[in-house]
Amino acid sequence: MRARLIYNPKSGKEIMRKYLPDVLFELEIMGYETSTFQTTSEPHSAKNEAKRAALAGFNLIVAAGGDGTINEIINGIAPLANRPMVAIIPAGTTNDYARALKIPRTTPVEAIRVLKKNQTIEMDVGLAGEKYFINIAAGGGLTELTFEVPSELKTMFGYLAYLAKGAEMLPRVKPLNVRITHDEGVYEGNTSMFFAGLTNSVGGFESYAPDAKLDDGFFSLIIIKSSNVIELMRLVALLLNNGEHIKDSKVVYVKTKTIKVEILDRGERMMLNLDGEYGGDAPVEMVNLQKHIKFFANLDEISSEAMLGYDEEGFVNTAEKYVNGMDEIKG
């Protein structure tokens, strides 16, 4: 078996430089013939290398870095017919995707040892226009704060840098007049921001979408209607309270396989945030690619309710039963 380790040497506190020999040793004793690639400052460095490695026949890509690095790697392999499996070593600031897959965030060595359990899950992948995302697509208001936090502050202060910038931006959040079309209908009106999630972990919070499944083919779409600073702070408090925000009258919450976002005000701009990185501007159409890429995960630690087809026999594909069940509930 051949593995290609793609790592961002500047992610987090440059932790991969210290642990690289140990990670390679762990992969070797697991039977992987492993080579490495250190990303560079050139555009799409990780994306291009991931595509090259996949076309060269590597069985496994180990993505070591933050959510942005992982996103780039997925964009390199998602369009291909034959996609290698992916393992994650969280070495970034928030590491949302690693949280969702319950990958240890203590050291890279503990993260790579998850492979020894030989537990995998076929994860949904989102496609927004021509770009792929694995955790979150968002637009409006506070979702733009990630573009304003310098990488040096991310490295030094981690998630505290995001919180500080978010507090600074709250008074500047301006609602936009939008039309958001989803499987259940259309929302047309002012919105402070929207989120289309594939997991339950966003920005370090693990209650963004309490009933999110990792492999059911649905986005968890949250639309926050026009809100002032006080209302936004109240919704954040509800988010922290076990996901109570989804019941609020200021929130639209639906499950959907497709999403179309349009700006109705001329001259206004909504930048899209895909996995914490700039992903173009609205208008945009999104589709959920169910079970598109197989990831190593710590399934023993993931709630059975977060995956399709978990029962005492193990993990089986029961997507049809889930959809039928949803139809019964609705009707």
| Residues with active-site annotation | 277
Structure tokens at 190: 């002012």
Structure tokens at 286: 């999104």
**CA–CA separation, 172 and 174 (whole Å):** 6
Report the 10 Å Cβ neighbour count for 172. Answer: 10
**DSSP-derived 3-state class of residue 283:** coil
Torsion of CA 153, 155, 160, 161, to 10 degrees: 20
Structure tokens at 252: 């639209």
Smallest CA-to-CA distance from 170 within 228, 238, 248 is with 228
Cα–Cα distances in Å, from 68 out to 162, 165, 188, 258, 298?
15, 19, 31, 23, 21
DSSP structure string for 90-147: E-SSS-HHHHHTT---S-HHHHHGGGGG--EEEEEEEEETTEEESSEEEESGGGGGGG
